[in-house]
Amino acid sequence: MTTGYTETVNKLIEELAKLPGIGHKTAERLAFHILKSPPASAMALANAINDVKTKIRQCKICYNFSEADVCRICSDNRRNKAVICVVEQPKDVIMLEKTGQCKWVYHVLGGHIAPLDGVEPADLTIDKLVERVKAGGVDSAGSPRVEEVVMATNPNMLGDGTALYISSLLKPTGVKITRLARGLATGTALEYASERMLTDAIISRQPLE
């Protein structure tokens, strides 16, 4: 499909075409845009990609993206560390934070349990969450015991299944387990919810049975 271009250009088109939502035609257009751009702007893109892959790691407490061992949210002392909100992906943290309603901390699972796709509980950070709740806080310096775990997995079959599985593991700890309210249409993903919908879902969260 990419015959006619040099090997180097082909390689760039191939790599761009791997990005989500980018078809071959768009990849070609982007490749030519990069070829035509001044070296400094093309290198800025290359460096930005390099930086996210070398500087960004996972927070060792919540597993969100972070530039330090502990992310900004986990190291913020104004946050209520007794409430942990469990989400599937880092982008869900961003969506929830946009509402301005969240004073809690997070736990990023890294996906949902999906046996048909080969995603087992051990592939997610579920064991780390259970440890975190059992340890009664995030640090040894007198941080409060975890009082509530808010399940904010996506309101669809896999998200619900994951929340129920986690809740069964957490039940013996006696922690209160809640779920974002169902103002969110069932079957949608958190990332597509409006701020208004999310705010309602946060405020009227319900116990998870």
Q: What's the min distance (Å) between Cβ of 80 and Zn ion?
A: 14
Taking CB under 5 A as the rule, does residue 177 contact Zn ion?
no
Taking CB under 5 A as the rule, does residue 71 contact Zn ion?
yes
Query: Residues 190, 94: contact at Cβ < 8 Å?
Result: no
User: Which of 146, 140, 141 minimizes the C-alpha distance to 84?
Assistant: 146
Show Cβ contacts of residue 202 under 8 Å, excluding neighbours closer than 6 positions: 96, 99, 101, 102, 180, 181
Strand order in the sheet with 206-207: 104-108, 80-87, 148-151, 176-179, 206-207
Q: What's the min distance (Å) between Cβ of 108 and Zn ion?
A: 8
- Per CB under 5 A, the list member of 59, 85, 133, 175 interacting with Zn ion is 59
Taking CB under 5 A as the rule, does residue 74 contact Zn ion?
yes
- Per CB under 5 A, the list member of 62, 93, 102, 138 interacting with Zn ion is 62
For Zn ion (CB under 5 A), the number of binding residues is 6
Closer to Zn ion by Cβ: residue 64 or 199? 64
One-letter amino acid identity for 189?
A: A
Closer to Zn ion by Cβ: residue 61 or 190? 61
Distance, in Å, from the CA atom of 144 to the CA atom of 132, rounded to the nearest integer, reads 12
Q: Which residues bind Zn ion (CB under 5 A)?
A: 59, 61-62, 64, 71, 74
